[in-house]
Structure 1
């Protein structure tokens, strides 16, 4: 029983230090990973796993190892911000694989990047003809960025000379899960009375609202708990 209790406590401790490590390293830890990130976080995961259940290893030794790994990553991230040479060494460089509709085979060979995978990533961007592509670049995290040739791009309002209202802020969430988001109201100088009026315009009360957001155009979108849809298209 004592060993099981130790595993429980170690697992809780492992989760806590992983959470602390993630906070220290920032959002990069949950972004798409470069080769460097992959190696680093696999190492951290292995240490944390051993910390959780490997009772043959001393807890404080694993904790020291984990702290050293976090410190290395933190320093590497800091140095990367200061110098492009270090950043390129750790993360690598983007690689052009298509230029003006032509596949650059030599660049693909250097990365061991296959034609099948290239076609797959192009299809994921709704591109089925390589001749449509002006440039395709494999980013350091493995994602494919594509710029189509001008005559294959979607026309924008600017291209068509259509006037658009400037937008200078993000949508503001007013109600989430039936609860008023007080901080968003305060930060944007919005009052409860104003929100009540917007809800009452639709014959509703706050308790009936699941989600409400103020759009960039000034319109308020409201979703209620009761959708009044008799036959949902997709029902779990």
Structure 2
């Protein structure tokens, strides 16, 4: 009876873990698929119980690990046999940036904000949103990018050109709010910023969702 009870708890736990991860979003699981992430958590806990809790018998631990392994095997088998179920459980890639424009609905559905999007882009060696033609959030939580043609890799050596100074993009406005530290870093003031926005045909800062300055390339603005 005890083993049946453990089997039920493990099965329910597996399902609830899976649902929770799908609700929270892919960003929490890093480079793992959802069921690999669950496996790592639960198996480590099972091993911890076997070492530190004397009342848990070796037989119970072996049974729990075997059941858990069987659940994973069944899920893996289902994934291989059914594309539809695999897409439902693992999720589909989400296009966060399409033709250079941020898809805020997809960003919201993926439980991401602009900070997190910028962080994911930097991890893929993309330091400015302006460089991106397409950005796709993969089911494992990573972001794949296709850069605009002007920013695709061509070495200076290929063109026989001298080395040039490289500048880091500075985010000035995020989620419609001014980042004053960024202005100080650039040694600029709000008058300068409003002048730059006016050049873009934007009268009020409240209309701006995201703005970024890159030396040599000017101000990049995403309006609300």
Matching residue of 1:38: 37
TM-score, normalising length: structure 1: 0.50
Kindly provide the CA deviation profile for residues 11-50 of structure 1, in whole angstroms up to 9, marking residues without a partner as x: xxxxxxxxxxxxxxxxxxxx92123321232122211211
CA contact (8 A) 1:101 1:133 kept: yes
Structure 2 stretches lacking a partner, 5+ long: 1-29, 160-224
Is 1:137 the counterpart of 2:133? The answer is no
SS in 1 for 2:31: coil
Alpha-carbon distance in structure 2 between the residues aligned to 1:125 and 1:76: 30
CA contact (8 A) 2:124 2:143 kept: no
**Residues 53-202 of structure 1: pairs in structure 2 closer than 5 A:** 53-155=52-154
Kindly provide the CA deviation profile for residues 161-184 of structure 1, in whole angstroms up to 9, marking residues without a partner as x: xxxxxxxxxxxxxxxxxxxxxxxx
Alpha-carbon distance in structure 2 between the residues aligned to 1:40 and 1:121: 24
SS in 1 for 2:124: coil
SS in 1 for 2:133: strand
TM-score, normalising length: structure 2: 0.53
Alpha-carbon distance in structure 2 between the residues aligned to 1:90 and 1:37: 12
Alpha-carbon distance in structure 2 between the residues aligned to 1:89 and 1:58: 37
Alpha-carbon distance in structure 1 between the residues aligned to 2:47 and 2:84: 31
Alpha-carbon distance in structure 2 between the residues aligned to 1:38 and 1:89: 17
How far has the Cα of 1:151 moved from its partner?
2.4
Alpha-carbon distance in structure 2 between the residues aligned to 1:85 and 1:51: 38
How far has the Cα of 1:119 moved from its partner?
0.7
Between stretches 100-109 and 45-54, larger displacement belongs to 45-54
Alpha-carbon distance in structure 2 between the residues aligned to 1:77 and 1:140: 16
How far has the Cα of 1:128 moved from its partner?
2.6
CA contact (8 A) 1:51 1:63 kept: no
Kindly provide the CA deviation profile for residues 73-119 of structure 1, in whole angstroms up to 9, marking residues without a partner as x: 01211221111112112211111111111111111111211110111
How far has the Cα of 1:143 moved from its partner?
0.5
Alpha-carbon distance in structure 1 between the residues aligned to 2:154 and 2:81: 39
SS in 1 for 2:144: strand
Question: Over the residues paired in the alignment, what is the CA RMSD in angstroms?
Answer: 2.1
Greater RCO (Cα-Cα under 8 Å, separation 6 or more): 2
Alpha-carbon distance in structure 2 between the residues aligned to 1:40 and 1:91: 15
